[in-house]
Amino acid sequence: MAAVDSAALLAGLSRSSNASPHAGYSPFMTADRRPNQARPHEHLLLTRHLRGEPGVAASFAHVVFDRPEKRNALTPAMVRAFVGTIDELAGDDDVRAVCITGEGNLFCAGFDLPLCQADPKALPALLGSLSEAVAAMRRCVKPVVIGAHGAALAGGCALLAGADLVVADRGCKLGYPVANLGISPAVSAPSLLTRLGPGSGAARRRLLDPGLTTAEEAAPHNLIDVLVELPEDVAPRAQLESMRLAKHPPAAVAAVKRHVASIDGSSDDERRRVGLGASLSLTDDAEYHSRLGAFLAGRP
């Protein structure tokens, strides 16, 4: 884990006069006019930044959760498209690393809870696709960097465990508050235990305690690798880290990721199936439906 001075970090990275003011801003982000941009889903933006373009030292792909009006809340179709995008990039020889960030004021607020209330099939679908999303990042042979600014909550926090490197601002809020609603975060247990270490106790505390922590507090427990001072520093630093990792020989990187996955349990589908099953077992629970209804009724 490294702390970064934001002034030094952004030296030489100038913002254009019409730059978007949102907290996830990156100097490489532009409107959808770029020829290397695509939308795998209406709420996902994919840009391939290829070596030789201005400011691009090594080729990488940038995936952006683009639903800022809903705090990048996840839907089943959105997560399925994310999984397909990660798998596609894993096989793209023009891409050497993958960077993932969120548009708007925070990285991701988790599942779309009003959708879960309206459609009883939504929560099981989200849990299954979330499990697959983390697995897709882990099996991707390219380095995966997540830049989390503002907050990464519930499913958004779970995604962090799939990355090889996580950048966050010091005050970024992290945790699984949906445990208060009767939604079990057990689906995240296998990847979180891999990321934090099964003997540290940190993973157990995060899963059992619905309270939030900050990235600065989580960094010593290995959930966060690089700390920056401000939310607006996150996306630029995540892209710089992606380019740094993209410079390494791709065959060697792929071999390391496969070997590490075979050792740390990332490739163990049975562990993932058990964790997912524990979460799915509560999706029809009366307490969950009651708590979710009360929570949504009390929202402004």
Structure confidence at residue 6 (pLDDT): 32
Q: What is the pLDDT of residues 114-164, one digit of tens each?
A: 999 999 999 999 999 999 999 999 999 999 999 999 999 999 999 999 999
Domain range enclosing 76: 2-9+20-297
Q: Which tokens is 219 given?
A: 């960094």
Is residue 261 situated within a structural domain? yes
**Which residue has better confidence, 99 or 286?**
99
In whole angstroms, give the CA distance from residue 192 to residue 162.
9
pLDDT higher than threshold 80 for residue 180: yes
Which tokens go with 130?
A: 């979330």
**231 near 172, Cβ under 8 Å?**
yes
Distance, in Å, from the CA atom of 296 to the CA atom of 265, rounded to the nearest integer, reads 37
Residue 97 near residue 145, CB atoms below 8 Å:
yes
Q: How many domains does the chain have?
A: 1
Residue 40, SS3 per DSSP: strand
241 assigned to some structural domain: yes
Asked if pLDDT for residue 16 goes beyond 50, the answer is no
Q: Provide the pLDDT for residue 199.
A: 59
Q: Is the pLDDT of residue 221 over 80?
A: yes
What average pLDDT does range 45-49 have in this prediction? 95
Paired tokens of 11: 């030296």
Could you give the angle at which helices 122-139 and 76-90 cross, rounded to 10 degrees?
A: 20
Statement: residue 7 has pLDDT above 70: no
286: domain CATH number? 3.90.226.10
Whether residue 97 is contained in a domain is answered as yes
Is 15 part of any domain? no
269 lies in a domain? yes
Average pLDDT over residues 263-282: 86
Q: Report yes or no on 14 lying in a domain.
A: no
Q: Average pLDDT, stretch 174-195?
A: 85
CA atoms within 13 A on the CB side of 250: 17
Q: Where are the beta strands (DSSP E) in the chain?
A: 2-3, 37-41, 44-49, 60-65, 98-102, 144-148, 151-153, 165-169, 173-175, 213-214, 226-228
Residue 157 domain-assigned (yes or no): yes
Residue 180 covered by a domain: yes
The residue that leads in pLDDT, 299 or 70, is 70
pLDDT of residue 179: 83
Percent of the chain's residues with pLDDT above 70:
87
Question: In the predicted model, is pLDDT for residue 92 greater than 80?
Answer: yes
Lowest mean pLDDT among 79-93, 139-153, 226-240, 277-291: 277-291
The pLDDT-based confidence of 211 (bands split at 50, 70, 90) is confident
